[in-house]
């Protein structure tokens, strides 16, 4: 399992990134520590979180995931230097705590650093576009954080090709740091948001790409075979849209490729993503050691050109 260079950041990241949205939510603190320990022991080094995780969970508040990671760092002296740490700013935490203004970024980064119990963030991402704040203001704020050593590189999530191109032009014109990493939604089912102009721009500009919803909210895990499997459950609102003709075709292809490779559909789905042009590493989460072992297998799985072609054809629009 080889690490990959993340665009022009100089960061060497593992071929899979641990999605920290589960910490303090579907994985309690004890389990989160076990997973993080096992993650490093398996040879991975990259963890993704955000200041808003996991505010959506009953009884949780924004910053829960960062705080769990911070307590893990404190309990494991020397571990921080082994980790490539990604967190984000910009999601709404409160009416006066959101967006990408210079004022909020300067406050939010200190809040994140305090929760994470570290003095630097390896990669700081703009979580969502902010139409109310010019790119120049946001990038100037990041320049100050880079100069102060609070962050080491920057990127953005959820930008389309036009937005990313505009941000690059502003950075070049004003002599400001550019977004060197993009975090888009991308998986075997959800392809058209990234492929094409956005993917081409990232390849052309050597922008690292870390994908989220890499398993389409669990649809590509192979756990659910039809709408009947999710009927009446909380999963129905997230997964119902996937069970169309194209979705069923993808599941069939995944099953065939998985059987040929003695792997699971989830492992095959992640291996396909790892093989995609321009993709540095997908984000994936685990809430058990068994799931984490499956992620390790996915990172080592090398699909044949025929397997990749079959999956790509089955998921074509």
Q: What is the pLDDT of residues 127-146, one digit of tens each?
A: 999 999 999 999 999 999 99
Residue 125: CATH number of its domain: 3.20.20.100
Q: Which helix (H) or strand (E) holds 154?
A: strand 154-157
Considering the domain boundaries, does residue 15 fall inside one? Answer: yes
Domain count, the chain: 1
Q: How far is CA 247 from CA 159, 228, 250, in A?
A: 25, 14, 5
Residues whose CB is less than 8 angstroms from the CB of residue 150 and which lie 6 or more positions away in sequence, other chains included = 109, 110, 113, 119, 120, 121
243, part of any domain = no
What is the 8-class DSSP label of residue 59?
T
Amino acid 121: pLDDT? 98
pLDDT band at residue 57, thresholds of 50, 70 and 90? confident
Q: Is residue 20 part of a domain?
A: yes
% helix / strand / coil in the chain, to the nearest 5? 45, 15, 40
Grouping H, G, I as helix, E, B as strand and the rest as coil, residue 193 is coil
Model confidence at 207, pLDDT cuts 50, 70, 90, reads very high
Q: Which two tokens stand for residue 174?
A: 């004003």
Q: What's the number of CA atoms in the CB half-sphere (13 Å) around residue 261?
A: 26
Please state, in angstroms and rounded to a whole number, the distance separating the CA atoms of residues 16 and 5.
12
Q: Domain residues for 19?
A: 4-183
Band (225; pLDDT cuts 50, 70, 90): confident
Mean pLDDT taken over the chain: 96
Q: What are the distances in angstroms from CA 290 to CA 210, 296, 303? A: 23, 10, 22
**Residue 107, domain member (yes or no):** yes
Per-residue pLDDT at 289: 97
Average pLDDT estimate for 219-247: 85
Q: What pLDDT is attached to residue 99?
A: 98
Residue 176 resides in a domain: yes
Confidence band, pLDDT 50/70/90 cuts, at residue 222: confident
- Decide if 285 is inside a domain: no
- Whether 280 maps to a domain, the answer reads no
**Residues 11-37, mean pLDDT to the nearest whole number:** 97
Q: Looking at the predicted structure, is the pLDDT value of residue 236 above 80?
A: no
**Average pLDDT of the residues in 80-92:** 98
Q: Which position among 53, 124, 135, 179 bears the catalytic label?
A: 53
User: Is residue 52 in some structural domain?
Assistant: yes
In this structure, what token pair is assigned to residue 218?
A: 């669990």
Q: What is the reported pLDDT for 97? A: 96
Residue 3, pLDDT score: 96
Cα–Cα distance, 31 to 24 (Å, whole number): 9
The question of whether 53 is a catalytic residue gets the answer yes
Confidence of residue 90 (pLDDT cuts 50, 70, 90): very high
pLDDT at 255: 97
The Cα–Cα gap between 136 and 252 comes to: 47
The pLDDT of residue 63: 96
């Amino acid at each position: 399992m080889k690490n990959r260079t993340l665009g022009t950041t100089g960061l060497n990241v593992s071929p899979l990134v641990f999605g920290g949205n589960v910490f303090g939510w579907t994985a309690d603190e004890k389990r989160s520590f076990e997973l993080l320990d096992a993650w490093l022991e398996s040879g991975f080094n990259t963890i993704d979180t955000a200041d808003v995780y996991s505010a959506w969970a009953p009884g949780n508040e924004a910053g829960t995931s960062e705080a769990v990671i911070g307590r893990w760092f404190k309990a494991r002296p020397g571990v921080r230097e082994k980790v490539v740490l990604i967190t984000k700013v910009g999601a709404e935490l409160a009416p006066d705590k959101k967006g990408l203004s210079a004022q909020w970024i300067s406050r939010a980064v200190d809040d994140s650093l305090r929760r994470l119990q570290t003095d630097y963030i390896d990669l700081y991402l703009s979580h969502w576009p902010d139409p109310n704040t010019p790119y120049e203001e946001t990038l100037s704020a990041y320049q100050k954080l880079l100069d102060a050593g609070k962050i080491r590189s920057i990127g953005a999530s959820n930008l389309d090709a036009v937005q990313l191109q505009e941000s690059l032009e502003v950075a070049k014109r004003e002599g400001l740091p550019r977004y060197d990493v993009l975090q888009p939604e991308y998986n075997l089912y959800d392809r058209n948001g990234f492929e094409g102009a956005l993917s081409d721009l990232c390849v052309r500009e050597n922008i690292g790409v870390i994908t989220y919803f890499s398993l389409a909210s669990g649809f590509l895990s192979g756990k659910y075979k039809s709408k009947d499997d999710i009927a009446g459950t909380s999963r129905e609102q997230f997964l119902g849209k996937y069970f169309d003709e194209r979705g069923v075709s993808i599941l069939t292809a995944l099953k065939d490729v998985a059987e040929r490779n003695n792997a699971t559909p989830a492992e095959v789905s992640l291996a396909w993503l790892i093989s995609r042009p321009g993709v540095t590493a997908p984000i994936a989460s685990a809430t058990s050691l068994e799931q984490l072992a499956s992620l390790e297998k996915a990172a080592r799985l090398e699909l044949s050109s025929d397997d990749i072609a079959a999956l790509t054809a089955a998921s074509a629009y």
